[in-house]
Amino acid sequence: MKALLVFIALIPLGVAYYTLDNAIDPIKMLSNYTGIGAITLLLLSLVPSTCKRVCGQNFLRYRKTIGLLAFVYAFLHGCVFVVLDSEFDFVTIFEKSLKKPFIYVGVIALSILFLMALTSFKKLFATFSKYHKAVYVALALALLHSFWAQKVAGVFEYSVIAVGVVLLGERIWAWKSLHVKTNLTNISLP
């Protein structure tokens, strides 16, 4: 099942590869494909936990695979900017970043995802699992990056923000519910 998941997740990259010759702006097309793929997979990586809490369905075994795929897309998105768009010209990258601060937001989100991907394997995950809650920060920053990068936000941007707010809101609600239950069980009767 995980192999099928990886195959499905990589289909947009295959489509991008085969339609690259017909693209008006191939670099922008690759940037859009990888950016949309990254944010979509990042949102999907939160769905298994929500499904377990809300529906009782356990898809947690796919969460890591989806999260790693989100990192791959985000990494490719960054590579498109650094390698293809800026051609490793770091002065140009710095100048572009000053004019478009949403790039810094994206870099911070990518850095968080990189650290999470690096520590997602068994030995390191046992030590660093509590830090993987940083995915919520990465998601919030990725949503901000995606929205801010658009000159005119469209249906996709608003939809992604709405889904992100619902998923993050559900987590806050679940955390508060757990916190209230814990406090109630700790109250002792006189």
DSSP string, 45-66: TTHHHHHHHHT----GGGHHHH
Residue ranges of alpha helices (H) inside 83-134 are: 90-99, 102-118, 122-128
26-44 vs 2-19: helix crossing angle, rounded to 10: 160
pLDDT digits (tens, 9 = 90+) for 86-133: 999 999 888 888 899 999 999 999 999 999 999 998 888 888 888 888
Burial state string for 19-42 with b = 16 or more CB within 10 A and e = fewer than 16: eeeeeeeeeebbbbbbbbbbbbbb
pLDDT value at residue 188: 56
pLDDT digits (tens, 9 = 90+) for 51-60: 999 888 888 8
Question: For the chain, what is the mean pLDDT?
Answer: 90
| Spatial distance between the Cα atoms of 97 and 75, rounded to a whole number of angstroms | 17
Are residues 106 and 145 in contact, defined by beta-carbon separation less than 8 angstroms?
yes
pLDDT value at residue 123: 82
pLDDT value at residue 190: 52
pLDDT value at residue 187: 62
Whole-number Cα distances in Å, 161 to 103, 136, 146, 164? 18, 13, 9, 5
pLDDT value at residue 144: 94
Whose tokens are 């509590």? That residue is 130
pLDDT digits (tens, 9 = 90+) for 10-52: 998 888 888 888 889 999 999 999 999 999 999 999 999 999 9
pLDDT digits (tens, 9 = 90+) for 132-141: 889 999 999 9
Confidence of residue 177 (pLDDT cuts 50, 70, 90): confident
**151 token code pair:** 């000159």
pLDDT value at residue 189: 53
Confidence of residue 159 (pLDDT cuts 50, 70, 90): very high
